[in-house]
Every structure is written in structure tokens, then in C-alpha cells.
Amino acid sequence: MASAAERESMRRALTIAGQGPRGVNPQVGAVILATDGTVLAEGWHRGAGTPHAEVDALSRLAPGEARGATAVVTLEPCNHTGRTGPCAEALIAAGVARVVYAVADPGARSSGGATRLRRAGVDVEAGVLLEEGHALLDSWLAVQSLGRPHVTVKWAQSLDGRAAASDGTSKWITGPAARADVHRRRAQSDVIVVGTGTVLTDDPALTARAEDGTLLPQQPLPVVLGARPVPDDALVHRHPHRFLQYSGDLMAVLDDLRMRGAHRVFVEGGPTVAASFVREGLADELLVYVAPVLLGGDMLALRDIGVDTISHARRLSVSSVQTLGDDMLVIAIPTPTPHAADASCGASGRVGPPTSEGDA
């Protein structure tokens, strides 16, 4: 059972972990406690290639000062050698007597630190403030589970499933409350994705904005899918981040975005791009904003997703339905089906490198 001092130190470790960058590596914090519960040192992971949190904390102590101490860490100490050595071995070498951690390391190569520590005679307690630990690492853990960034596919539609009127006009199907919700979700994402068709037709800025039009503090990286060139005067050139442009396989695009540190990808447009993520089994969450209007015609909000018979329908589990002004937001999670799994098996391949816009 974790002591009060250990639980309080875990809260501190979770706080300082947030000072590290969010990206390919997890945000991790560590606090070293003396036998009387006083804090000897603390540290956090500052990014790829830098000392891990445990080693960062130990480096602030004199040789032998950690002997008999307790290490409180937000993530299970790693047990592999990458750019840095195994944290489990560093703790053993320092003479730490007890390790308390919140979240187990899900990595196939990096996990096993707790077992290594126990074999060396170190007392280990797992799952302390587990819920708070998962909240800190939520998006990173999703990437570890999926093997790629988490993908949310969003579209807005009329009640009869149209994304635009017959003449192609679509501003605005939904009202201010729904649009504000979209901008809030953009700011929570690492990447926003549209196709070249949307860029050429709608000229979106792809920024996250407040209701008064000012930019929100957090801005997603804009990504354009498709081979057609983006005009020099397109609004996306004014985005705070230089956009990336890809053409080719979607899984390879997600692989590259993961290597760039992206955890959450927000796919906004248009109907062809949205359909491609759904068809390939790469949509983890669907956000459908439904306006109480009828448009008719053939401007569907979602193009072909590979459903040629009712038995191949993509089944969904609705997680919530929200009212936003006059509009409705349906949030749904795709339910795996044998047909969908077969389709997603083809979602691996090569993609060309980013264009010069992505070299920044």
C-alpha cells in the first residue's frame, strides 16, 4: 500500500511530467524520496535522446545518496537500451530500495522493468494514482495500442446526408455553436487533415480559432492529401505551422506523422478523404454534425466506403449525442467487422516524402 508521502509525490511527478514535450516519447516524471518521506530529488523527461525521468532525478544526487530511497515514477521504469540505458538498471545501481509507479509500460521492448527490479530485490508497487496516470498519457497510450496516431474523422451534413447543395455551396450547413465545437476539437489535435479538393474549393485556413476569430493558443499541424499543387495564395500558407503535403497510402502517412510526434489526427475533409479513412479501417472515432436542413441531390457527405451489400455495412457504436444550438453532434466508434478488417489489411504501403512545405 502506497503511503501518503508516496501518493503526494506521485501527484508531484504527474505535474512535472507535463513540463516535458508531448511526442514520440511519453511525458514522465519522477520523485526520489528518502526513508523518512522527504524529497531528495525530482526530474522529468525532456525529449527524445535526453535522460529519462528516473535518471534525470538521480543525476541531481551525490553518489550513494539514493541508497535505500524510494523512486516514485509516473510510468513503469523501462527495461531496454535505446538512445539511453534501461532505467530499471539505473535504479538498481543507485541502490533504490522501493519503486512506486502509476502506469505499466505497454511497449513490447521497453516493458519488463518491474520484473527486473523485483528480481534484484527492489520492492515494487504498481498502479498508484492509475487513473491520473492514464489521463496524463492518454494520447500516447492510444498510439502505443494502435501502432499509429488516433484518427478522428469529422464531417458536417444536412439531415438527409448531404455535404453541400447541388451547386457545390456548403457554407454554412451548421450553426455557430457547432463550428465553435469544431475549433475547440481542432485545438486538442496534433494534426488537421484535408484533401486538395477541399483546399481548392473552400480555401480553408485550417486554424483553430476563438469565436472572435483570434487564433487559439494550440494550433494543429495542417496536412493536405493529394498530388495537385496548392495555390501560392491559399490560406493554408498563412497557418502558424508550415503544412505537409502527401500523396499515397494513408497508413504510411500516419506512420510518418507518428514519427513526427503526432498522437491525435483530426480529419476534416472532404467526402472523399473522409471515406478513404473509413474504407481503410483507419477511423477510430467519427464526429458527425447534423443540421436540421434538407438539401437533396447527390452531394453526399461520405463517398464510397466499400459497402456493396447490406452485410458489409460499417457498424457503429454511438457513444454520445449532443445538441449544439440547432444542430446535433453524433459521436460514434466503428465496430470491427470481418469485412472491415479485410479492407484495412490493404492499408500499408509506401508514400512519397513530404513536399518542400514539410521540410521545415
Q: So what's the pLDDT on residue 160?
A: 94
Say if CB 65 and CB 74 are below 8 A apart.
Answer: no
Output the nine-digit C-alpha cell for 335: 465496430
Residue with cell 466506403: 305
pLDDT of residue 205: 95
Taking residue 7's Cβ as centre, other Cβ atoms within 10 Å add up to: 15
Q: How far is CA 162 from the centre of its chain?
A: 29
State residue 108's pLDDT score: 67
Report how far residue 48's alpha carbon sits from residue 77's, in angstroms, rounded to the nearest whole number: 16
With the C-alpha atoms ordered 129, 265, 262, 249, is the resulting torsion angle positive or negative?
A: positive
The answer to whether 185 and 329 have CB atoms below 8 angstroms apart is no
The residue behind cell 457527405 is 301
Cα–Cα distance between 240 and 236 in angstroms, integer? 9
pLDDT score at 341: 45
Which pLDDT value is given to residue 360? 25
Cα 127 from chain centroid? 23
Please give the Cα distance from 208 to 357 (Å, whole number). Answer: 20
Cβ within 8 Å of residue 234, ≥6 positions away: 199, 203
Exposure b/e, 271-305, CB count within 10 A at least 16 = b? bbbbbbbbbbbbbbbbbbbbbeeebeeebebbeeb
| 353 three-state secondary structure | coil
* Whole-number Å distance between alpha carbons of 223 and 277: 14
Catalytic site includes residue 132: no
pTM here?
0.82
Peptide bond into 172 cis (omega under 30): yes
Let me know: does 179 contact 172? Beta carbons within 8 Å. yes
> Which residue has 539514493 as its cell numbers?
66
* Bridge partners (DSSP) listed for residue 248: 351
In order of their start, the domains of the chain are 4-143 (3.40.140.10), 147-359 (3.40.430.10)
Q: How far apart are CA 107 and CA 197, in angstroms?
A: 38
Identify which of 281, 280, 288 has the alpha carbon closest to the alpha carbon of residue 163.
288
Candidate list 54, 76, 268, 280, residue with the active-site label: 54
Tens-level pLDDT at each residue, the chain (360 residues): 899 999 999 999 999 999 998 888 899 999 999 999 999 999 999 988 899 999 999 999 999 999 999 999 999 999 877 666 789 999 999 999 999 999 999 876 677 899 999 999 999 999 999 999 999 999 999 999 999 999 999 999 999 999 988 887 777 889 999 999 999 999 999 999 999 999 998 899 999 999 999 999 999 999 999 999 999 999 999 999 999 999 989 999 999 999 999 999 999 988 999 999 999 999 999 999 999 999 999 899 999 999 999 988 899 999 999 999 999 999 999 987 655 444 444 443 333 334 323 222
Helix (H, G, I), strand (E, B) or coil at 276: helix
Cβ burial 139-173 (10 Å sphere, 16+ → b, else e) = bbbebeeeebbbbbbbbbbbeeebbbeeeeebeeb
